[in-house]
Structure 1
Amino acid sequence: MESHLLNGVKTYAPSSREELMAYAIKNQQILVAVNAEKILHATKQSREIINRNLGYPDGAGAVWALKKKGLDAAKIPGCELWLDIVSHYYKTKTFYLVGGKQEIIDQTVKQLEKEFKGINIVNYRNGYIKSDQEKKDLISDIVSKKPDVIFVAMGSPKQELLMEEIQKQHSAVYQGLGGSFDVYTGNVKRAPHWWVKNNLEWTYRLLSQPSRIKRQIHLVRFFINLHLNKY
């Protein structure tokens, strides 16, 4: 699977979700979403985190940037990818979930068990790790239960740093999910399918939350830089 540096961010260009999932499973990688904001606002720390792991094109901006480099990549939203992984592997792999408020993670597990009959979730916990001891206990539990796939929904870079720390003691497939548990359980509404399909999810978010205008203005700069071949 080919990759390219976009403002110093190593971003892979999978042709399909299936290719990305198979590559991650085979190589036991940490999956990190890359979008226009992460490319535009890349820092030394964020670049190093993504470049150590498997950065994939989560948004249309990353896809367009890769295509400008001659790589044909599929857009793979992280909030969909983790469910694709579950759907493809729930009969053969084991899972561990970390993240969200207690009521959200409880609801997520209950919904997964209802939707994917027989799924083996070896354990789960909320994302509020308040001490080093709690983190040590989490890592010990993961090492003990040996899950094949671990989802961590805590936001970046916190989730990536935690996944890297766990991976040092237990090899598995990891994916950082941000607020995906909230979306999955319906506690946060995602853009309707038409907006997502036509790469206008950012527009829907802006219309729904006008306060995001300052954040979205930065995307204009991203597309100008992209047009000027600065990535």
Structure 2
Amino acid sequence: MPRYPVLDSLISTGPPAAFVDTVLRLGAARSSSYVCFANVHMVVEAHRQPDFGQVVNRAAVVAPDGSPVAAAVRWFGGPVQPRVAGMDTLPLLLAEAERRGQSVYFYGTTPAVLGAIEARIRRELPALRLAGLHAPPFRPLTPEEDAADVARINAADPDLLFVALGCPRQEEWMAAHQGRVRACMLGVGQAFMTYAGLERRLPAWARRLWLEWAYRLWLEPRRLWRRYLLTNSRFLWLMARQGVRQLVNPPSEPVAW
């Protein structure tokens, strides 16, 4: 998929259906690869921390999860790009995996969330091959525990491995396990909660107005206020600075990777 730079992150482009097909093809090939869903927080962190930026850019696919990220692709010379959010893409991938006979595995969050995910899958997608679900402890794993998790996942042999450990931990986990886990890994984070029905999505009209950050802040003000205050402000500043630079020295033509 063509990729265009937003700050230092190379964002994949295409319609949502192309993202779904690309991911399922990676899974069917048992490619040890990973997929990032880049929102403003991830793009700013990738700019601020070059090592994390390399983690993001080594992904097979970097979907524009946030509306500002999708819009920025166009602002800086790329095509008109719709948002491809993990919360929207997860159910599409599950439905298409059922249709193609592919298997899935869920890794992360809590047993209660995984139980709710399993119940929904059994109810709505009874033919989907659910290879496994596992919630690791909320602490760094010992090498022995990590090796056991990898062995458990590979024994289940999923096409797709959905990972919810929080950003940037889940992206770093996927990068560290590329070559060890025989699946296409997807860092979908909060999508576990919404798919499980334990957190409501903002109405579509409000998402079109880029208000999802305000809704998330309302849900978790103590955890997220600093991220949104500092990160969103920094994103706007960095994008404005990049825009001025391109006005002064416009590129001869858009560049895709």
Tell me, yes or no, whether TM beats 0.5: yes
Answer whether contact 1:24 1:30 (CA < 8 A) is retained: no
Displacement after TM superposition at 1:150 (Å): 0.6
SS at match of 2:5: strand
Displacement after TM superposition at 1:17 (Å): 1.1
Question: What do you get for the CA RMSD once the two structures are aligned?
Answer: 2.2
SS at match of 1:156: coil
Structure 1: tracts of 5 or more residues without a match: none
Partner in structure 1 of residue 91 of structure 2: 83
Partner in structure 2 of residue 153 of structure 1: 164
Structure 2: tracts of 5 or more residues without a match: 247-257
Partner in structure 1 of residue 39 of structure 2: 35
CA distance in 2, matches of 1:209, 1:139: 32
2:118 to 109, 121, 125: 109
Which residues in structure 2 correspond to 1:33-182 (within 5 Å)? 33-42=37-46, 43-53=49-59, 54-71=61-78, 72-91=80-99, 92-128=101-137, 130-182=141-193
Displacement after TM superposition at 1:70 (Å): 2.3
Which one is further off, 50-59 or 136-145? 136-145
Answer whether contact 1:99 1:153 (CA < 8 A) is retained: yes
Partner in structure 1 of residue 8 of structure 2: 8
Deviations 1:27-66 (A, max 9, x none): 4441101122222232112201111102110001111210
CA distance in 1, matches of 2:228, 2:142: 35
Deviations 1:171-215 (A, max 9, x none): 322111212222222323332232123322123334555554443
Counterpart of 2:118, as a letter, is V
SS at match of 1:33: strand
SS at match of 1:90: helix
Answer whether contact 2:52 2:172 (CA < 8 A) is retained: no
Relative contact order (alpha carbons < 8 A, sep ≥ 6): 1 or 2 greater?
2
Partner in structure 2 of residue 191 of structure 1: 202
Label 1:202 to 1:22 Cα distance change in 2 as closer, same or farther (>3 A): same
Answer whether contact 2:24 2:93 (CA < 8 A) is retained: no
Deviations 1:119-159 (A, max 9, x none): 11111111327432222111112222211111111112322
CA distance in 2, matches of 1:2, 1:111: 34
CA distance in 2, matches of 1:215, 1:170: 31
SS at match of 2:105: strand
Answer whether contact 1:127 1:154 (CA < 8 A) is retained: no
Counterpart of 2:72, as a letter, is A
Answer whether contact 1:59 1:75 (CA < 8 A) is retained: yes
TM-score, with normalisation over the residues of structure 2?
A: 0.80
Answer whether contact 2:63 2:85 (CA < 8 A) is retained: no
TM-score, with normalisation over the residues of structure 1?
A: 0.88
Displacement after TM superposition at 1:88 (Å): 1.2
Counterpart of 1:184, as a letter, is Y
SS at match of 2:166: coil
CA distance in 1, matches of 2:157, 2:92: 21
Counterpart of 2:82, as a letter, is A
SS at match of 1:203: helix
Q: Provide the identity percentage.
A: 20
Deviations 1:89-110 (A, max 9, x none): 1231011111111121122112
Label 1:141 to 1:49 Cα distance change in 2 as closer, same or farther (>3 A): same
Counterpart of 1:61, as a letter, is P
Answer whether contact 2:73 2:81 (CA < 8 A) is retained: yes
Partner in structure 2 of residue 222 of structure 1: 235
Label 1:164 to 1:220 Cα distance change in 2 as closer, same or farther (>3 A): closer
Counterpart of 1:217, as a letter, is L
